[in-house]
Amino acid sequence: MNIAIIGSGYVGLVTGVCLAHIGHRVICVDNDPEKIKKLKKGIPTIYEPGLEALMHKCMKRRQLFFTGSIKEATKKATVIFIAVGTPSKKSGEADLTYVENVARAVAINMESYKLIVEKSTVPAATGKRIEHTVQLNLPKKYQGGKGRRLEFDVASNPEFLREGAAIEDFMHPDRIVIGVESKRAENILREIYKPLKTTMIVTNINSAELIKHASNSFLATKISFINSIAQICDRVGGDVLKVAEGMGYDKRIGRSFLNAGIGFGGSCFPKDVDAFIRLSEQSGYPFNLLKEVRNVNCEQREYFLKLIEDKLWIVKDKTIGVLGLSFKPNTDDMRNAPSVDIIKALQQEGAKIQAHDPQAMGQAKKIFSGVHFCQDAYGAAKGAHCLLILTEWDDFRHLKFTKIKQLMRQPLIFDGRNLYHDSHLEQYGFEYYGIGRIKV
Ligand code: NAD
């Protein structure tokens, strides 16, 4: 199949590379000329394990191309995936400006049948809007009436990959969801995904769009639920790790997304929860449950900060070491990372921050001012009054704690991701605080 991917960010680039890998001819588009320049040279613009090697392989086989031109991509491809950003407006509603821009640009350049597929996360009924936009912007000669009516289909194919495991998730998905309104669109999408052996859920466009928002909102609910349990653990003397384990063995519940900590972040959960709340409100349903999920998530950051202030006492002029900046491990993505709120709040109180992250320091430098970035975890610990764990990178699991203790001014660790066992760190002489694990 000849496929175009419009928007070559975290989702678009991985989708493009993986579709090329399974045998399609793919052209990836982006309107950021710097990105396209790098991609054409085979330099990935994001950090994602395994991406660079796979990208090189597909480029060498001449199955993967890059361009800045939607016109060129529309001409070459029959199937066009829209993978641009859908950020939040101030109201929380999804801003679909980029999606509309792409739909218009594709329509203007259409000369033959196209299947336009929403890969971006969008609210229910966006498919209809795209269809309307394309119809309105088709070249006059193809708009029907006296001219020839140019056929096209719109479909929804939401993406469920996780940054940090994106290639594995794309190649071995739990399921593929497609929302279609015609057999032709269904057949094309079935053909595209044929090499991936998994369950395919075929439904209408609105339901497919809802599946994505409902899935992310449910996962966010699980996180806020376990964070609420952690709060109770800290108050009555329970260990949230054991509670989650005990709950998770129940197949109806499952262990995943029951990790208490400083709350969810990233480019998807906060924005998708906001957008789903707005969509529900606009439809006349207030979705109070989801509003509370969002509140609990905000409170979790404040809870962590309060814990630090309680134990450290005076924050002003203290040196605070930070391990982990990205919103989760194995990515350089800093969008809505909990570390941003936490570090900025501590800086406001006068703390000096020295931080290390295995991949995200390049992105973090664009966000923070006054943070000293360190080569490794030991640099971040040197002379610190306390150490914060803000991302659960594997690199931090097996540090030399004797060395860390010697380097620090005070052996005090606040583990916002429950990465360590308290008894283990206490053996080294650390005062250790996780989330939901305080012994009363
Ligand atoms: P991103 O910001 O990394 O990538 C979007 C890209 O689109 C950017 O490179 C931008 O330059 C480009 N772009 C914007 N307008 C364009 C235009 N008119 N023409 C060409 N390129 C254009 O975003 P992302 O993280 O890849 O997310 C994209 C969508 O996928 C969002 O709706 C998101 O919610 C959804 N999604 C993201 C993830 C994830 O883990 N990041 C997972 C599933 C779904």
For 74-90, write each residue's pLDDT tens digit: 999 999 999 999 999 99
pLDDT of residue 185: 98
Residue 183 has phi, psi (to 5 degrees) of -65, -35
Assess whether 147 and 267 both reside in one domain.
no
Assess whether 227 and 196 both reside in one domain.
no
pLDDT of residue 439: 67
pLDDT of residue 422: 82
| Closest residue by Cα to residue 390 from 439, 350, 423, 344 | 344
Nearest CA to ligand 1 atom 11: 32
CATH number, residue 299: 3.40.50.720
Nearest CA to ligand 1 atom 37: 11
Q: Which of 203, 229, 251 is the C-terminal boundary of a domain?
A: 203
pLDDT of residue 142: 85
Assess whether 224 and 365 both reside in one domain.
yes
Atom of ligand 1 nearest to the CA of 162: 40
Assess whether 98 and 172 both reside in one domain.
yes
How far is residue 166's CA from residue 143's CA, in Å, rounded to a whole number? 39
Residue 174 has phi, psi (to 5 degrees) of -65, -35
Span 166-184, pLDDT tens digits:
999 999 999 999 999 999 9
Assess whether 317 and 175 both reside in one domain.
no
Assess whether 227 and 113 both reside in one domain.
no
DSSP string, 259-307: --SS---TTTHHHHHHHHHHHHHHTT---HHHHHHHHHHHHHHHHHHHH
Pairing mode, if any, of strands 2-6 and 25-29? parallel
pLDDT of residue 440: 64
Give start and end residues of each alpha helix (H) in 319-396.
Answer: 338-348, 361-367, 377-381
CA of 94 to the centre of ligand 1 (A): 13
Assess whether 217 and 199 both reside in one domain.
no
Amino acid at position 82, single letter: I
For tokens 């982006």, the residue is 30
Assess whether 209 and 191 both reside in one domain.
no
CB within 8 Å of 220: residues ≥ 6 apart: 264, 269, 272, 273, 290, 293, 294, 297
Q: Which of 148, 182, 203 is the C-terminal boundary of a domain?
A: 203
Active-site positions read 268
Assess whether 210 and 168 both reside in one domain.
no
Amino acid at position 29, single letter: V
Q: Which domain holds residue 170?
A: 2-203
How far is residue 377's CA from residue 403's CA, in Å, rounded to a whole number? 11
Token couple for 11:
């989702």
Asked whether 308 and 252 are in contact (CB, 8 A), the reply is no
Assess whether 169 and 248 both reside in one domain.
no
Atom of ligand 1 nearest to the CA of 272: 34
Cα angle 169, 171, 177; round to 5: 75
pLDDT of residue 140: 86
24: left (phi over 0), alpha (psi -120 to 50) or beta: beta
DSSP 8: -
CB within 8 Å of 429: residues ≥ 6 apart: 405, 411
Assess whether 315 and 178 both reside in one domain.
no
Low-confidence ranges of the chain (pLDDT < 70): 147, 439-440
What's the domain count of the chain?
2
Assess whether 230 and 373 both reside in one domain.
yes
Q: What is the pTM of this model?
A: 0.95
Residues lining ligand 1, judged by CB closer than 6 Å? 6-12, 29-32, 35, 83-86, 98, 101-102, 120-121, 159, 161, 163, 267-268
